[in-house]
Amino acid sequence: MFRGSLVALITPMHADGEIDDASLQRLVDFHVAAGTAGIVAVGTTGESATLDEDEHCAVIRRTVELVAGRIPVVAGTGANSTREAITLTRCAKDAGADAALLVTPYYNKPTQEGLYLHYRAIAEAVDLPQILYNVPGRTACDMLPETVGRLAAIGNIVGLKEATGDLSRVARLRAVCGPDFALYSGDDATGCDFMLLGGDGVISVTANLAPRQMAAMCEAALGGDREGARTVNRMLEPLHRALFVQSNPIPVKWGAAQMELCSTGIRLPLTWLSEDCQAPVRAAMQKAGLV
């Protein structure tokens, strides 16, 4: 599967909340030119929770069109309804996405057996490579390594985005999933060490603003250059933190607007970055050489 820095792409919007196609084109070209290894469209950072099903499928389809085969596109298709997740994953396959990223069902707190059956049903329904996504801080649901190991035995379940920030899980996951199962960090703050411990890349919020730096850090880490990777990561550490001063993607959309990559739209219940949080985000962007 894909290795390196994959961007969890924001979904650009106009001030009225409508999708901004021109900015989407600008973002796609920005990432291709910067060496981003792949684009994740309409994930959590892409405000999947506030796009309706038609919009969700349309943004996936448009992203695939704009990328035009230059780098892989992974479509966020997770939902807390198994039927809805199957429908969205079929949309991703029909649109030509290279893989799907499926967040654990949020709010309804399934058991580990429920998680296994949920993901197995989607994998059996749609013949597309599928990447699991575990982010208990947002879903109130933690998919344990043993459950991931069971799912790794299903042929088209090919990877995991692990966003707990618990680095002790890397070895456990590798042991139960095998060497060919892709492991991605979903936590920028620990992503460098995640790769140095045997992970395959980062699905990154930070890469929205600093794609060249994230690509360089990932390349060094995956190449075994520990000091080189950590040198780049030290420059990015303030940005990793600042992009979560308010709920993601509030800070990163503000930062992208400051870089004139997108306009100033975000959908309720999310709001634009508050004034008292703008200074630390700007300082972190300056530290990373972005503004």
Angle between helices 112-125 and 82-95 (to 10 degrees): 30
Cα atoms in the 13 Å half-sphere on the side-chain side of 228 = 13
Angle between helices 211-222 and 188-196 (to 10 degrees): 20
From 133, 184, 253, 287, active-site residue: 133
Q: Is residue 239 a contact partner of residue 287, using CB atoms and an 8 Å limit?
A: yes
Terminal-to-terminal C-alpha distance of the chain = 34
Q: Which long-range contacts (CB under 8 A, 24 or more apart) does 230-234 make?
A: 230/192, 233/191, 233/192
Q: Which of helix, strand or coil describes residue 5?
A: strand
Active site residue 184: no
The helix (run of H) or strand (run of E) holding residue 161 is strand 157-162
From 106, 116, 161, 253, active-site residue: 161
* CA 148 – CA 120 distance, rounded (Å): 11
In DSSP terms, 76 is beta-bridged to 101
Catalytic residues: 133, 161
